[in-house]
Each structure stands twice: as structure tokens, then as C-alpha cells.
Amino acid sequence: MLLASAVVVWEWLNEHGRWRPYSPAVSHHIEAVVRAGPRAGGSVVLGQVDSRLAPYIIDLQSMNQFRQDTGTLRPVRRNYYDPSSAPGKGVVWEWENDNGSWTPYDMEVGITIQHAYEKQHPWIDLTSIGFSYVIDFSTMGQINRQTQRQRRVRRRLDLIYPMVTGTLPKAQSWPASPASAASPAAPPCSCPQCVLVMSIKAAVADGGTGPLQPPAARKNMPPPGAVKLPPQPGPGAKPLDSTGTVRGPVKTVPSQAIRRQASSTPAGVIAGSPASPPGTNGKTGRVALATLNRTNLQRLAIAQSRVLIASGVPTVPVKNLNGSSPVNPALAGITGILMSAAGLPVCLTRPPKLVLHPPPVSKSEIKSIPGVSNTSRKTTRKQAKKGKTPEEVLKKYLQKVRHPPDEDCTICMERLTAPSGYKGLQPTVKPDLVGKLSRCGHIYHIYCLVAMYNNGNKDGSLQCPTCKTIYGVKTGTQPPGKMEYHLIPHSLPGHPDCKTIRIIYSIPPGIQGPEHPNPGKSFSARGFPRHCYLPDSEKGRKVLKLLLVAWDRRLIFAIGTSSTTGESDTVVWNEVHHKTEFGSNLTGHGYPDANYLDNVLAELAAQGISEDSTAQEKD
């Protein structure tokens, strides 16, 4: 136990294994339910504070987030952070998505960025915490160290996350305090979701007999038998933290001590039931459920559906209840949990299955693609172009500026009228020379451009750091491998009138070359061969031809840190999205997706690959 002050951030675990923070408003809402103890029912309905989270409920007993319409469970946790860090000041750092919306960084990343911002550093390199990005505070941009692609970032103020002070436990379970178990019951919420949760719990507590009524109607009914309150914690139990809001000066504690993440201990009974049957073995909930036969469960489901169907929530059928009938999706999920606990077979209507691959295809059914030569292509490690110095390369793209404007060079952030502020390797040009890029017209110190070129792939191309215009032919650092492509006689969802182009990428593990992040060190290649799919339409074939150009220029993959697993020195996708699901779109990497072909054409154009590129490759 630690006597300290901290901000509390509630977080959920996403499919990539990263803890994502709830917003300050949602965290305050969850904390309010924790403070209320068992009288609040043990469930947090997130839709009460954020309408976008209407399908979600947090069960504080198991510390899981439950999505009512799909039955998906995700772990949640209660995490502590230093009050002087970003969440304690209401500071949120966000990056801009491809669709123009803003996504908050993971809490640790946001805290790291804010710390550098407060120290007035011009930039912060996130490599040390597992991300291959640089945040440039002068341009408020996020730069990918591998691809040099830039996204906008922003810093905004929000509510301060809830504060706690006193004894911070290393681990905690719910309810929040012993005293709260004996507190008078708070007036029940009347929203459909809370009515559902509380009435289900009440029905189970009473053994599943009698008519179902909302909690407000039940509280005046005589109890069927004596009711025992939850036992008080024994002498070995650890007291939990105070939940009062800190109003005076906040004491700062070392970050290693402050970041104690809370865990939960699953309980055998449903906390907060209006009438919990007595028991001594901690498994009373299962005893009551075991008394529910199939008829009572059916009656329970139908009665609740009649009460809550009018709430307007989309319905799904629940099977194994003597036929099928539409019920509220929340009821579907909770009924499934009850049936499973009672040892009865459960078969909720299944969500769409993940379909990664097409049905089996024989060799005779695989055909070459009309208008595309061959069916495979290999790449080897290409060396940087020799014989030209960086100054000679850049001379083709620059015009000297004799009278530079009185504005900043966006590379070194010094005035163009003053010498370059770059302090790296010394190029063989004077630091006060200024040049203008011929096509886009942006102006920089030539000294800075040469230094930037030396830090890149040195392939004879240059990309404007402001507008991303590419000069020359941009190439990447993709490791050696093989790309296969052919037609298969199956259609993709959303493209029923054409066959499918299947692309198979194969890259083996190996040793990093001089152009890679860690020359001489081994790299891994997870998930190969990777299968990708395009419709065999006119636009689909156009995308394939441009992907072949990108493959030859080593731009499809790179070596870096996986955003999915966090593994470093591994082969990762390089800013050109592919569809790896054949018959579904559960992960966002499948079909149907009406905008995908246009989006990938735009991503290829950002890498300097367009229809003109195919003609250049032929030449």
C-alpha cells in the first residue's frame, strides 16, 4: 500500500493488446459508480455519459466491458498516474486519422509527449517506448521514421481525470469500501439498460419464480426469505483507496510508485442483487441459476423482451429456447450468460464469421491475369545509387534563392535569412545558402536539405518535408522476397460480377542491411505468406499494376516496430493498405468496402506511384 495522490484513468484492452483510455467524462462516470458501492448494482452503463458507447456495459465484478449486441468481452483496468502528468492536467494528445477524425494516443505515449512539450523540446523521438515516430512540435506533426509520412497532431484541453488520495492498493476488487455494503439503496435508474440489468439480477436472486418487475416495483415486495448482506472484510483484507476528490495541493509521488494498475477478483455472486439468497460457499449465484429449468429461462427471456422491445434497440434472435423469437440484444447476451452458468446449451445467433481465405482452388482453376505479364515477381536488395554526391542529386531539384524571405526553414526552424541551425554531419555546402524546390516552391536551407537526404534512403529522390511532393523516383527499404498474383474463380463480397485477384507476398527473415534501422541485426517476418485480394475489375487491375511498381521500388513493406504486437525489428506494412480478409470485413481489412480501391490509389500516389509510373517502369 502506498499513501499518495494520483489520477485514475480507466482503460480497456483492444484487439492489438494495447490499453486504450476511456475519456475523462467516462472515467468520472465509472468512478462515481465505484464510490456508490453495491447499491449501484455493480454495472456501469457507458451510454449514460456517452451516447456513442450505448452498447457497452462494464461489469465491475469481473472487470470486463460487455458489448450487448455482439456479446464481446474486453478486459478493463483502473490505472493510476502522476497528478502532474498529462491526465492530471486535462491535456489530451491526438493524431489525425485518414478519415480526418482525431484519435487519442495511448496514455503512456501522451504523457511522454506532454513531458517533452513542457520541457520545450523542439521534438520527441518515440522509438524508446516502442514507436517508430517523431513528434515535431514546431509543425505539430507526427513523422514516420521509416516512410517519412507525416500526420497532424494536436494538443487539447479536456476534463481532468478523477483524483484519489490516501492509500492506493496494489490490487483491488469491488465493492469499493466495506461501509458501502450497508449503505441505503440509491434510487434505481429507470433507463431501459439499467432496468434490464437489475431485473435480470433480481429474477435470478429469487430463483427465477414469479412475475418479472422493474426494481422500483420490487422493492416494496416482501422478501421470500432472510437475506444476508455481503460479509465484512476480515482482518487480512486490504482497505481500498479513498474516493474523495482532492481539493487542496496534490502531493506528487514517484511515477514507479504511482502507476499501480488495479485488478479485480471475479466473484461467484452477482453483487448488488436486491435479494441475494443466503449461502456460505460464495457460489450462491450458481446455486440459484441451477434451479432454473428451460421453461423458466424461456419465460424469463420472453417476459423481458416484451418489456424492453419498445426501447428501440435492434433485435436479434436467441435459439435453444424452444424455437426462436426476437429479443433485445442486451437480453440475448445476458440470457446466454445465465444459461451457460446453469449448465444449459447456449446458441445465440452467431455474428458473421471471420473468412480469411477463399474456398479451396485447384491448380487448373488458377489463371493468369489478362493484361498483366507473368504471375510472380522477385526483389533483391538494391544498393543506393553510386557516383553522385547528395549535393549533385539535389542540384537537379533546386533553384538558388539570392534574397530569401524572412520566414522559418521548417527543417531547422531558424530564419532563412540566418545560417542553418542543423548540427548534424557537416555537408559540403555553406550553411547560409537557400534553395527553392522547383515544383512545389517550398524554400529551405540547402544545408538542411542535404542533411535530410543523408539521413534517408540516398536513392536519388527527395520528398518535400512540407507538402510531400516527390522529386525523382522514391524507393524503399523492403527486404528481399517474392510477390505472386493470379485469378481465382470466386467473387468478393460487394463484387459479385467478377472474379478475384489473389496476391501472395512471401518474405523470409534475414539480416538487416545498411539501409535498415539496425544494420547487421536479424529481423523477423511474421505472418508470411500473406494473402491479399482485389476484385478483377478494371480498377482492381489498375491497382494491381501499381502495386507491382510499388513492389519493384521496395515500398510495400519495411522493417520497423509492429503496431499490432509491439515487436521491433520485424517486417511491417508500409503505408499501403491491403485487404487480407476474403469473405468478411470484421477487422476492417476485408470486403465489402466501396472506397477501398480509391483509397489505395491515393496511398500509392502519396508514394509517388501513379499511372505514369507504369510507363516509366516499361521505359
Q: Quickly state the pLDDT bin for 265 (edges 50, 70, 90).
A: very low
CA 175 to each of CA 241, 484, 537: distance values in angstroms, whole numbers, following the listed order: 11, 57, 59
Whether residue 441 lies inside any domain: the answer is yes
pLDDT at 409: 92
In a shared domain, residues 432 and 549: no
In a shared domain, residues 496 and 612: yes
Whether residue 363 lies inside any domain: the answer is no
Q: Which residues pair with 56 in a beta bridge?
A: 67
Mean pLDDT of 408-437: 84
SS percent in the chain: helix, strand, coil, step 5? 25, 20, 50
In a shared domain, residues 10 and 139: yes
Give the domain-ending residue among 165, 184, 219: 165
pLDDT at 582: 92
In a shared domain, residues 429 and 508: no
Helix axes 611-618 and 538-552, enclosed angle (nearest 10)? 50
Whether residue 296 lies inside any domain: the answer is no
In a shared domain, residues 501 and 466: no
In a shared domain, residues 466 and 486: no
In a shared domain, residues 131 and 24: yes
The winner for highest mean pLDDT among 203-207, 301-305, 396-400 is 396-400
Neighbours of 195 (CB within 10 A): 20
Mean pLDDT of 505-515: 93
Neighbours of 44 (CB within 10 A): 23
Task: Please give the torsion angle defined by the CA atoms of residues 515, 516, 517 and 520, in that order, rounded to the nearest 10 degrees.
Answer: -100
pLDDT tops 60 at residue 372: yes
H or E segment and range at residue 617: helix 611-618
Nearest Cα residue to 46 out of 76, 19, 84, 91: 76
Cell triple for 530: 500473406
Please tell me which residue, 509 or 329, carries the higher pLDDT value.
509
Phi and psi, residue 79, nearest 5°: -110, 145
Cell triple for 239: 482497505
Q: In terms of C-beta density within 10 A (0-12 exposed, 13-18 middle, 19 or more buried), how is residue 540 classed?
A: buried
pLDDT tops 50 at residue 306: no
Q: Quickly state the pLDDT bin for 269 (edges 50, 70, 90).
A: very low
pLDDT tops 80 at residue 359: yes
Mean pLDDT of 332-355: 54
Alpha-carbon distance 474 to 470, whole Å?
A: 7
Mean pLDDT of 526-531: 92
pLDDT at 168: 57
Nearest Cα residue to 124 out of 143, 106, 149, 107: 143
In a shared domain, residues 432 and 485: no
pLDDT tops 80 at residue 459: yes
In a shared domain, residues 499 and 551: yes
pLDDT at 221: 42
Q: Which residues lie below 8 Å from residue 494, measured CB to CB, with a gap of 6+?
A: 535, 591, 592, 593, 594
pLDDT tops 50 at residue 253: no
Quick one: how far is CA 30 from the chain centroid? 21
Q: Quickly state the pLDDT bin for 41 (edges 50, 70, 90).
A: low
Nearest Cα residue to 197 out of 182, 221, 214: 214
Mean pLDDT of 519-548: 95
In a shared domain, residues 563 and 431: no
pLDDT at 63: 86
Alpha-carbon distance 159 to 161, whole Å?
A: 6
Three state DSSP letters for 412-434: CCCECCCCCCCCCCCCCCCCCCE
Q: What three-state secondary structure class fits 551?
A: helix
Q: Quickly state the pLDDT bin for 146 (edges 50, 70, 90).
A: confident
In a shared domain, residues 540 and 480: yes
H or E segment and range at residue 444: strand 443-445
The winner for highest mean pLDDT among 178-182, 215-219, 310-314, 451-455 is 451-455
Mean pLDDT of 486-494: 95
Q: Quickly state the pLDDT bin for 328 (edges 50, 70, 90).
A: very low
Mean pLDDT of 440-462: 87
Q: What three-state secondary structure class fits 317?
A: strand
The cell 460464495 sits on which residue? 282
pLDDT at 74: 86
pLDDT at 573: 93
pLDDT tops 50 at residue 250: no
Counted domains in the chain: 3
Whether residue 196 lies inside any domain: the answer is no
Whether residue 358 lies inside any domain: the answer is no
Query: Per the omega criterion (within 30 degrees of 0), is the bond before 223 cis?
Result: no
pLDDT tops 90 at residue 17: no
Whether residue 486 lies inside any domain: the answer is yes
Neighbours of 178 (CB within 10 A): 15
Q: Which amino acid is at 252?
A: T
Alpha-carbon distance 522 to 394, whole Å?
A: 33
- pLDDT > 90 in the chain, percent: 36
Beta-sheet strands, E only, within 320-374? 325-327, 347-348
Q: Which amino acid is at 549?
A: V
Mean pLDDT of 339-351: 48
Mean pLDDT of 250-261: 37
Mean of per-residue pLDDT scores for the chain = 74
The winner for highest mean pLDDT among 83-92, 172-181, 494-503, 560-569 is 494-503
pLDDT tops 70 at residue 18: yes
Three state DSSP letters for 127-166: HHHCCCEEEECCCCEEEECCCCCEEEEEEEECCCCCEEEE
Query: Range of 416's domain?
Result: 386-471
Give the domain-ending residue among 165, 192, 216: 165
Whether residue 74 lies inside any domain: the answer is yes
Neighbours of 502 (CB within 10 A): 22
Mean pLDDT of 368-386: 77
Q: What is the pLDDT of residues 189-248, one digit of tens each?
A: 555 445 544 555 455 455 444 433 433 333 444 444 333 333 433 334 333 343 333 333
Q: Which amino acid is at 409?
A: C
Give the domain-ending residue among 165, 180, 211: 165
Buried/exposed code over 300-332 (b: 16+ C-beta within 10 A; e: otherwise) = bbebbbebbeeeebebbebebbeeeeebbbbbb
Whether residue 498 lies inside any domain: the answer is yes
CATH number of the domain within which 539 lies: 3.30.390.130
CATH number of the domain within which 90 lies: 3.30.720.50
Q: pTM for the full model?
A: 0.48
Please tell me which residue, 322 or 34, carries the higher pLDDT value.
34
Q: Quickly state the pLDDT bin for 558 (edges 50, 70, 90).
A: very high
CATH number of the domain within which 419 lies: 3.30.40.10
Q: Quickly state the pLDDT bin for 282 (edges 50, 70, 90).
A: very low
Cβ 419 vs Cβ 381: under 8 Å: no
pLDDT tops 70 at residue 264: no
Q: What is the pLDDT of residues 49-72, one digit of tens each?
A: 888 888 888 888 888 888 876 667
In a shared domain, residues 463 and 593: no
Mean pLDDT of 546-569: 90
pLDDT at 338: 56
